[in-house]
Amino acid sequence: MAFLYLQKSKASQTTGMKDEHQKNIPRHIAIIMDGNGRWAMKKGAMRIFGHKHAIKAVKDAIEGADSLGIEFLTLFSFSTENWSRPKEEVDALMELLVKTISDEVPLLMKKNIQLESIGDIDSLPPTAYKTLMDVKERTASNTGLKVILALSYSGQWELTHATKQIAQKVSEGKLKVEDITEKVMSEHLQTAAYPDPELMIRTSGEYRLSNFLLWQLAYTEMYFTPVLWPDFRREHLFAAISDYQSRERRFGKTGEQVKS
């Protein structure tokens, strides 16, 4: 925690840290919330028990991010590949999504948090889709932290989707092939409105991306922790940020160039 530089007076109020340490907080953090099933199994319980206990971790991470003045928090909540899990687990996860986002509207409003989503949300069951759209709409004018749920999301799906949209524009004569740049690509991604994450955290001791934000993580700092997601709390988030703050981001340049 010694290196944790906190931003904005809000942060110092929450943590008691001095204002001169309030810098270099990431604007955008992305989290692969993994390990719910193993957490439950260690307790001799069903996997869904782990998913239920994951909600407390989600709330704590959101409140921790909010207390630091972080602007964007993207949470990998359900991947395209997760549709292949047993039907009972998928159904339980969808029910949990509906219950959680509707129960948490008062907290989102109180904290001025906006709920957004990325992914193929048309593929969600109708109740989940409706509830998500409703909560997104109700929090749309909140101006604080944006919590972005990645739902039915995968990086390869997103890139394919973006490519189709770009190809369509080219075929309609609205875009020239030579005008397709990295910027154009970014603008056609689900994350067009957000900066790329500076920090990506994955819990549960797995060292892979599992098809998460393949384009956006190009220069993101990665932080892996063995903590299983249901045990994750804001202290773990702060530890990840502290680790991030000790790193040197070079973006292809030399260390000397970056320092000068």
Which residues are annotated as catalytic?
Answer: 34, 82
- b/e burial code for range 149-184 (CB count within 10 A of at least 16 → b): bbbbbbbebbeeebeeebeebeeeeebeeeebeeee
Closest CB 207 distance from Mg ion, rounded Å: 13
The footprint of ligand IPE on residues 181-210 (CB under 6 A) is 204, 206, 208, 210
- Interatomic CA distance for residues 7 and 205, integer angstroms: 29
Ranked by CB distance to Mg ion, the top (closest) residue is: 34
Residue 120 binding ligand IPE, by CB under 6 A: no
Q: Which stretch binds ligand IPE (CB under 6 A): 7-15, 75-83, 185-193, 238-246?
A: 75-83
For residue 20, give the DSSP letter.
G
Residue 216 binding ligand IPE, by CB under 6 A: no
Closest to Mg ion by CB, 47 or 146: 47
Closest to ligand IPE by CB, 208 or 247: 208
Distance from chain centroid for Cα 247: 21
- Interatomic CA distance for residues 32 and 220, integer angstroms: 14
How many residues appear in the chain?
Answer: 260
Closest to ligand IPE by CB, 33 or 62: 33
List, in sequence order, every residue forming a beta bridge with 29; answer none if it has no partner: 73, 199
User: From ligand IPE, Mg ion, none, which one binds at residue 73 (CB under 5 to 8 Å depending on kind)?
Assistant: none
User: From ligand IPE, Mg ion, none, which one binds at residue 36 (CB under 5 to 8 Å depending on kind)?
Assistant: ligand IPE
How large is the C-alpha radius of gyration of the chain? 19
Closest to ligand IPE by CB, 188 or 202: 202
**Pick from 168, 165, 167, 198: nearest CA to 71:** 198
Q: Evaluate whether 114 touches 138 at the Cβ level (below 8 Å).
A: no
Q: Which stretch binds ligand IPE (CB under 6 A): 72-80, 161-169, 179-187, 231-239?
A: 72-80
List, in sequence order, every residue forming a beta bridge with 202; answer none if it has no partner: 32, 224
The footprint of Mg ion on residues 9-68 (CB under 5 A) is 34
Residue 34 binding ligand IPE, by CB under 6 A: yes
Residue 32 binding ligand IPE, by CB under 6 A: yes
For residue 111, give the DSSP letter.
T
**Pick from 118, 111, 117: nearest CA to 142:** 111
| Positions at the binding site for substrate | 35-39, 47, 51, 79-81, 83, 85, 202, 208-210
Residues near ligand IPE, by CB under 6 A: 32-38, 76-79, 81-82, 93, 204, 206, 208, 210, 229
| Positions at the binding site for Mg(2+) | 34, 221
